[in-house]
Amino acid sequence: MLALAILRNGSVPAKFVTSVAFIIPALWLLDLAFRRRWYVCVHTRRGSRKLLFAKGSDPVELERFVVSAKARFEYS
């Protein structure tokens, strides 16, 4: 569609440019929202936060990280 628009008119419709500009981030956000991944929920005085880990993270290493953080910062 883009090639035909350039060849015929020499211009690209604004609707096409804006739709592509919004579709790419939308797909990325949907991927982030629905992909299963490991996370740690940290509760603080000001609220809670999630620490997200990469999709290829090793569960054994993540458990070691959590145990280490509990020992180091005296979490319960």
For residue 4, what are its two tokens? 């035909």
**Predicted local confidence at residue 27, as pLDDT:** 92
* 2 strand-pairing partners: none
**Predicted local confidence at residue 26, as pLDDT:** 93
φ, ψ of residue 45 to 5 degrees: the values are -65, -30
What pLDDT tens digit does each residue of the chain (76 aa) get?
Answer: 667 776 777 677 778 778 888 998 999 899 888 888 888 888 888 999 988 888 788 889 888 988 998 888 877 6
Instruction: Choose among 16, 18, 22, 21: nearest CA to 3.
Output: 16
φ, ψ of residue 54 to 5 degrees: the values are -65, 155
Distances (CA, A) of 9 to 1, 18, 56: 12, 18, 46
